[in-house]
Amino acid sequence: MELQGHLLYIDITQICGIGCAFCMYADKHKAGISMELSTLARENLIALINSPSVKRISISGEGEPLNNAKVFHEILNLSNGGKRFEFITSGFFPHAQMAAFYDETDRIVTANGDTCNIRLSADSHHIEKVKWRAHGFSVDYLQRRQLSRLSFSFRSIDTDRYFTRQYLIEELQHWGIEADIIELGPLEDVLMVAEQRLGIDYKNLVHPATGTSQGYLDMHGYIAAIEAKVNKHFTFGSLNQSPHVNGMDVTIKPNGDVYLYGIETLRLGNMHFDRLDWQHLQTQLLSNPLARALYTQPLTELLSRLENTDLVQSIINRVNNPYWLVKELAVHDGLLDVWEAA
């Protein structure tokens, strides 16, 4: 099986004081830890980041990654150049501090010959909690500084897209910036600011709370929208646009544990204690029956093989997202046997 165009997620902290109502990691925030880089961790990250088979390195967290900005900048410094980084954040710092963060990020990626996209949360859940809003400020910063290696985009989990669109248009107006929305599909818009195109990604709602107004994409709708976008069946892994083959989707947790994204029943190692490279990770993936099935067979087919019981349906409806599904199904003995034998 050929795997190419990998996505490396690095979750650099569990700390967050923002308190979004829907947060899936809220239980980890108070006693949470932040990533530190041991000597072996640095060596492993250098090998993983600088492989030609990596398409993007995405820095995020089970908390707010700005709370560990120092390690983010250390990770950027491990690149040998030519890499695409992404930083997913609420952008909650006061604006002067946010500008200093952008300045340092731009300095490092420019020196190394990399790029970094800052992906700002722009949905009603985050906006109502964040005092210092970064959206208008960041677009203004980009225009004033004329940067070429730093870019911005937005992400939202709002059940309809009206809030995010209106919010961004009005917020940018407060900064004297005129913007328009172009609709691209159920999962993406583009915010046009003069000649600049800033992407807006929409995710479906994980674990929708009881009473959430209808109209959000359910898991099957979300899978269908992703399939239409990449023009191929949804499997696990980093889905690259057809006809390109898919890559691996690997997540490193704040404590250094390594998993395939969405398959947290299988720990592949720890970056502080094990030697890691993409070939070794791929060997582990292919030798595990569950991971191999999820990477090679369309999820819709795998779902059709599960017994259509009330339990399975209630898990699917409750989780509402393919990447949260496996660990919830795995809690129930025997439910996943049919996939492991597939």
Which chain residues interact with ligand SF4 by CB under 6 A? Answer: 16, 18-20, 23, 25, 63-64, 90, 126
Helix axes 219-230, 322-330, angle to 10 degrees: 130
- Between strands 115-121 and 196-202, the pairing is unpaired
Give least dist CB 242 to ligand SF4, A: 32
For residue 28, give the H/E element and its range.
Answer: helix 26-29
Tokens of 117: 């996209």
The H-assigned helical ranges of 264-332 are: 278-287, 289-296, 299-305, 310-319, 322-330
Compute the distance between CA of residue 266 and CA of residue 217 in angstroms, rounded to an integer. Answer: 28
Q: Judged by CB, which is closer to ligand SF4: 66, or 302?
A: 66
Q: How many CB atoms lie within 10 A of CB 34?
A: 18
Residue 191 Cα distances to 102, 125, 143, angstroms: 21, 20, 14
Give least dist CB 263 to ligand SF4, A: 21
Q: Judged by CB, which is closer to ligand SF4: 16, or 108?
A: 16
Give least dist CB 316 to ligand SF4, A: 22
Q: Judged by CB, which is closer to ligand SF4: 126, or 253?
A: 126
Q: Judged by CB, which is closer to ligand SF4: 92, or 339?
A: 92
Give least dist CB 89 to ligand SF4, A: 8
ω into residue 298 within 30 of 0, thus cis?
no
Q: Judged by CB, which is closer to ligand SF4: 16, or 57?
A: 16
Compute the distance between CA of residue 122 and CA of residue 154 in angstroms, rounded to an integer. Answer: 6
Give least dist CB 143 to ligand SF4, A: 26
Q: Judged by CB, which is closer to ligand SF4: 2, or 128?
A: 128
Give least dist CB 156 to ligand SF4, A: 12
